[in-house]
Amino acid sequence: MNASSPSSKGDQDAFDVERIRGDFPLLARTVHGKPLIYLDSANTSQKPAAVIDSVDRFYRHTNANVARAVHALGEEATSAYEATRDKLARFINAPSRDEVIFTSGTTQAINLVAYSYALPRLQPGDTILVTQMEHHANIVPWQLVCERSGATLKVAPINEAGELIVDPFVELLTPDVKLAAVTHVSNVLGTINPISALSRECRKRGIPLLVDGSQAAPHLRIDVRALGCDFYALTGHKLFGPTGTGMLWAKREHLNAMPPFFGGGEMIREVKFEGTTFADIPHKFEAGTPNIAGFVGLGAALDYVNGIGLEKLAGHEQALLSHATESMSNVPGLRIIGEAVEKVPVISFLIEGAHAHDLATLLDHEGVAVRSGHHCAHPLMQFYGVAATLRASLAFYNTHEEIDAFLAALERVRKLLA
Ligand code: PLP
């Protein structure tokens, strides 16, 4: 789709992206004297005023610890904080709010499953199946529990376009596999993986499936019942909420069978020196004082996204993706890494003869924020035989004009480095 084509303009009119941008204060700033073009949302998203205000309001009017005090502030803080559990449960269509465990992010959520669910079940000869495109957060925790238990990792391959194909994945689902851990969407390639098909195959063989939803939640409607997985992890800061917030959803039977991961206040029923009994889920996994204001902010982020409508956001993003992909394909020497048919607006690329970090630094001086590096995905970089890529990752607050300005800036810096 071309920037000036009626369909892309029509998309912008219908979506009113300028009104949306007005909700994100940071997008109005300049960088190095140029208007900011923020293309690093897969790293962390910008926050709407509704989120910033809700955190501010919490500290100004409600601040108290949760679940500890009977006074008015304590009750108000608890209900504001717990409301986010209901919102998250609805957001992912979880069967029950009790199955939503608050975590500091995806990393903590995956570690919780690795140590509390997987480690007690792993023996020498067992395997954990991951894929070539995982973020380190969905590799390293499994390696650590493998080291402790004598189990090993197996890796499902991807094709050159960056797609995970169901058949080779299924061939690896042998009886030694005790858990499969797959990203819903690749943070480098933008690929959307066929989770329902993978989980059907895992279920047939009684293999639990963990899905890393970090990059899916900001773009796709998540329905854990339809996906059919066992565990789903996501992180709040990529979902327009505050940092230090996230979630593990898991089937009740797994959560009930898992021992606590962290011990401390709030996760107990009764503590005696002879032994301790634990609270029911979800609190069994939530020791200590949490990021209360952060979760209140995450609730505001979910309200904000729901208020616009995920389908509407996704439609605009897909138009941006087509526009950016087509324009970038016309840049001499530019190679896009990740050409899956099903993608979110995340575009990794290289420019012949120019180092990714140099390009990112020069683009920054043009006001354009893109990420350069390995994107916490060393094995994926090794698959493509590169040390680093540039990554332009978009959100619904980006515009077609920004894509054109990014391409113009890229052309200028490319010439400087030629
Ligand atoms: N998984 C994927 C696919 C990611 O992109 C990220 C963050 O970049 C993570 C996991 C880790 O998320 P967090 O650092 O918020 O725990």
Distance 5 CA to ligand 1 centre (A): 35
Which residues are CB-contacts of 330 (< 8 A; sequence separation ≥ 6)? none
Gap from CA of 107 to ligand 1 centroid (Å)? 6
**Atom of ligand 1 at shortest range from CA of 137:** 10
Tell the residue nearest (CA) to atom 4 of ligand 1. 214
Q: Per-residue pLDDT tens for 100-158?
A: 999 999 999 999 999 999 999 999 999 999 999 999 999 999 999 999 999 999 999 99
Q: What digits encode the pLDDT tens for the residues 55-114?
A: 999 999 999 999 878 899 999 999 999 999 999 999 999 999 999 999 999 999 999 999
In 3D, which of 66, 100, 85 has the Cα closest to residue 289? Answer: 66
CATH 3.90.1150.10: which residues of the chain?
Answer: 9-31+309-417
Which residue type sits at 180?
A
pLDDT of 12 reads 45
Rounded to the nearest angstrom, the distance between the alpha carbon of 415 and the centre of ligand 1 is 34
Pocket of ligand 1 from Cβ distances under 6 Å: 105-107, 135, 137-138, 183, 187, 212, 214-215, 235, 237, 376
Structure-block tokens of residue 100: 């939503």
User: Which residues are catalytic, by number?
Assistant: 376
Percent of residues in the chain assigned helix, strand, coil, to nearest 5: 45, 20, 35
Specify the pLDDT at position 225: 98
Best mutation site among 110, 142, 186, 187 for ligand 1, i.e. most ligand atoms within 8 A of its Cβ?
187
178, 320, 331, 349 from 326: Cα distances, Å: 42, 10, 9, 13
Atom number, ligand 1, closest to the C-alpha of residue 134: 3
The CA distance from 359 to 376, in Å, is 19
- The residue type found at 215 is Q
Looking at residue 69, what is its pLDDT? 80
With helix as H, strand as E and coil as C, how does 278-336 read? ECCCCHHHCCCCCCHHHHHHHHHHHHHHHHHCHHHHHHHHHHHHHHHHHHHHCCCCEEE
CA of 157 from ligand 1 middle (Å) equals 21
In the block, residue with structure tokens 């465990």: 101
pLDDT at 296: 98
Domain limits, CATH 3.40.640.10, in the chain: 52-306
The pLDDT assigned to 3 comes to: 35
Domain covering 52-306: architecture: 3-Layer(aba) Sandwich (3.40)
Rounded average pLDDT over 317-327: 98
Q: Whose CA is nearest to atom 5 of ligand 1?
A: 187
User: Residue 160 CB: number of other CB atoms within 10 A?
Assistant: 10
Tens digit of pLDDT for each residue in 174-192? 999 999 999 999 999 999 9
416 band by pLDDT with thresholds 50, 70 and 90: confident
Q: Distance, CA 235 to ligand 1 centroid (Å)?
A: 7
Other beta carbons within 10 angstroms of residue 157's beta carbon come to 14
- Ligand 1 center to 342 CA (angstroms): 20
| Tens-place pLDDT, residues 346-386 | 999 999 999 999 999 999 999 999 999 999 999 999 999 99
- Listed range (3-12, 123-132, 250-259) with the worst mean pLDDT: 3-12
**CATH classification number, 9-31+309-417, choose in 3.40.50.2000, 3.90.1150.10, 3.40.50.1820, 3.40.190.10:** 3.90.1150.10
Burial class (CB in 10 A: 0-12, 13-18, 19+), 59: exposed
Mutation pick for ligand 1 pocket among 45, 135, 298 (CB with most ligand atoms within 8 Å): 135
- pLDDT at position 7 is 41
Q: Helix 72-91 to helix 292-308 angle, to the nearest 10 degrees?
A: 40
- Residue of 112, 130, 136, 214 best suited for mutating to test ligand 1, as the one with most atoms within 8 Å of CB: 214
Q: Give the atom of ligand 1 at the shortest distance from the alpha carbon of 237.
A: 15
* Phi then psi dihedrals of residue 95, to 5 deg: -65, -25
pTM, 2 dp: 0.96
1 pLDDT above the threshold of 50: no
Q: Taken in order 15, 18, 23, 27, is the CA torsion positive or negative?
A: positive
Whether residue 415 is predicted with pLDDT greater than 70 in this model: the reply is: yes
Q: Which of 12-16, 115-119, 169-173, 282-286 has the lowest mean pLDDT?
A: 12-16
The ligand 1 atom at the shortest distance from the C-alpha of residue 375 is 8
Provide the 3-class DSSP secondary structure of residue 111. helix
Does residue 398 or residue 414 have the better pLDDT? 398
Omega prior to 282 cis, within 30 of 0:
yes
Please state the separation of Cα 347 from the chain's center in Å.
15
Asked whether the beta carbons of 248 and 101 are under 8 A apart, the reply is yes
